[in-house]
């Protein structure tokens, strides 16, 4: 499916002085799908996206975006690419309509077409009642819709969204993702970065980044199925003590507290893990009830970044 891929990178690397922000990244992102970059802050998501948009020059490696070599053909790519920055980057002292009209003119849309397109977008993103309002006075969700409308105004084939929902309430986030799936349905390739697990789960394809490296990639279901650990959840009156005790258990690869529960990733070789862990805790005077839980993307993320730690 290499010909069909929207984005292909080989050994893509970016250094800022001594620091390696993106380290030998090999990616293949399919067309007309929502692909996600999952990773903590500073893992290289934004830097990778900026390189793919031609805003940063790679220190090494190569990237092909929509069949164009980046950054060499960045100017040509810009006509086919929509980019939504992490920070709201439209003009706060311009109205909603003025912002969109400015972008339409910058993209060289003929006047009549620009007017029609702006009207369509205002209606589509429920911004028509706010058309005359200054962008700086919009709510987080409205700003997000305006930014997305601005990014797709010139009908790009590829949409790159850098943490688009970090400042948005849950309902707006859901609406926003509905809009993304609509666009993917119409054939737009979408690359979105997030640190929300629920958003990551919605992606068709997922790439997990950690400190500049690609640590796991695939469909979310496949990633969950491939989790090398068993997930055990324990209810306890003393969750903090339980977690501390479990971390010293050789078969436990990681343990995290979730309110009154402790979630542990356990070596699958351990027989009857629920009984074994309950027993280990009881020996330390901690009462707990254990059960097997379904793996989540967070577990996948923890497992993937842990194996990296062992390497280094």
Partner 1 sequence: MTRFSLRRVGAVARKELLHLRRDRVTGAMIAGIPLMMTLMFGYAINQDIRHLRAGVADLSGTQHGRWLAADAQATQVVDLVRHAGSARELEGMLARGEISVGLLIPPDVEQRLVRRDRPAAQLLVDGGDPIVLGAARGLVSLPPPGWSGARAPSPLFELRAYYNPERRSAVHIVPGICGVILALTMVLFTAIAIVRERERGNLELLITTPVQSAELMVGKILPYVAIGYVQISLILGLGVLLFDLPVRGSLLDFYVAAGAFVVASLTLGLLISTLAASQFQAFQMTFTSFLPQIMLSGYMFPFDGMPRPAQWLAEIFPLTHFLRIVRGIVLRGATLADVTPELWPLGLFFAITLALAALRFRKRLD
Cβ–Cβ under 8 Å, residues 36 and 13: no
DSSP code, position 95: B
Asked if 103 interacts with partner 1 (CB under 8 A), we say: yes
Cβ–Cβ under 8 Å, residues 29 and 52: no
Q: Which of 174, 223, 168 is nearest to 198 (CA)?
A: 174
Q: Closest distance between partner 1 and the C-beta of residue 12, in Å?
A: 14
| Residue range at the interface with partner 1 (CB under 8 A); choices 69-77, 189-197, 269-277, 292-300 | 69-77
The residue assigned the tokens 């959840």 is 233
| Of 44 and 273, CB closest to partner 1 | 44
Distance CA 44, CA 9 (A): 14
| Of 72 and 275, CB closest to partner 1 | 72
Cβ–Cβ under 8 Å, residues 160 and 84: yes
Asked if 93 interacts with partner 1 (CB under 8 A), we say: yes
**Of positions 7, 34, 65, 90, contacts partner 1 by CB under 8 A:** 90
| Of 94 and 131, CB closest to partner 1 | 94
DSSP code, position 122: H
| Of 73 and 198, CB closest to partner 1 | 73
Angle at 62 between CA 148 and CA 60, to 5 degrees: 110
Angle at 270 between CA 266 and CA 273, to 5 degrees: 70
Asked if 81 interacts with partner 1 (CB under 8 A), we say: yes
Distance CA 148, CA 195 (A): 19
Q: Closest distance between partner 1 and the C-beta of residue 212, in Å?
A: 16
Asked if 150 interacts with partner 1 (CB under 8 A), we say: yes
Asked if 75 interacts with partner 1 (CB under 8 A), we say: yes
| Of 212 and 273, CB closest to partner 1 | 212
Distances (CA, A) of 234 to 224, 241, 243, 258, 296: 20, 12, 9, 10, 16
Element (H, E) at 287: none
| Of 10 and 107, CB closest to partner 1 | 107
- Chain residues 197-226 in contact with partner 1, contact rule CB under 8 A: none
Q: Closest distance between partner 1 and the C-beta of residue 249, in Å?
A: 47
Distances (CA, A) of 25 to 163, 228, 275: 19, 23, 42
Distance CA 39, CA 83 (A): 19
**Of positions 8, 28, 33, 76, contacts partner 1 by CB under 8 A:** 76
Q: Closest distance between partner 1 and the C-beta of residue 130, in Å?
A: 17
Asked if 105 interacts with partner 1 (CB under 8 A), we say: yes
Backbone angles phi, psi at 243, to 5 degrees: -65, -45
- Chain residues 39-58 in contact with partner 1, contact rule CB under 8 A: 50, 53-57
Asked if 108 interacts with partner 1 (CB under 8 A), we say: yes
Cβ–Cβ under 8 Å, residues 88 and 147: yes
Q: Closest distance between partner 1 and the C-beta of residue 87, in Å?
A: 4
The residues binding partner 1 (CB under 8 A) are 50, 53-57, 71, 74-76, 78-79, 81, 83, 85, 87-94, 98, 102-103, 105-108, 134, 150
């Amino acid at each position: 499916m290499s010909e069909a891929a929207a984005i292909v990178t080989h050994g893509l690397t970016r250094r800022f002085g001594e620091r390696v922000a993106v380290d030998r990244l090999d990616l293949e992102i399919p067309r007309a799908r929502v692909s996600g970059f999952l990773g903590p802050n500073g893992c290289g998501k934004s830097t990778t996206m900026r390189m793919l948009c031609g805003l940063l020059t790679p220190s090494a490696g190569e990237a092909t975006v929509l069949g164009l070599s980046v950054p060499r053909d960045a100017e040509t790519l810009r006509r086919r690419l929509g980019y939504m920055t992490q920070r709201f980057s439209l003009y706060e002292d311009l109205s909603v309509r003025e912002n969109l009209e400015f972008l339409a003119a910058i993209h060289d849309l003929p006047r009549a077409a620009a007017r029609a397109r702006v009207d369509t977008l205002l209606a589509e993103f429920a911004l028509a009642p706010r058309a005359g309002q200054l962008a700086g006075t919009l709510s987080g969700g409205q700003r997000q819709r305006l930014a997305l409308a601005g990014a797709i105004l010139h009908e790009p084939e590829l949409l790159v969204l850098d943490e688009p929902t970090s400042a948005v309430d849950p309902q707006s986030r859901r609406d926003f993702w509905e809009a993304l799936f609509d666009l993917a349905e119409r054939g737009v390739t979408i690359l979105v970065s997030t640190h929300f697990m629920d958003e990551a789960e919605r992606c068709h394809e997922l790439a997990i980044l950690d400190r500049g490296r690609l640590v796991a990639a695939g469909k979310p279901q496949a990633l969950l199925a491939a989790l090398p650990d068993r997930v055990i959840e324990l209810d306890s009156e003393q969750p903090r003590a339980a977690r501390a005790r479990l971390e010293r258990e050789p078969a436990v690869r990681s343990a995290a507290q979730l309110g009154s529960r402790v979630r542990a990733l356990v070596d699958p070789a351990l027989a009857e893990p629920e009984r074994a862990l309950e027993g280990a805790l009881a020996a330390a005077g901690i009462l707990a009830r254990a059960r097997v839980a379904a793996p989540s993307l967070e577990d996948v993320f923890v497992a993937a970044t842990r194996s990296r730690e062992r390497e280094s």
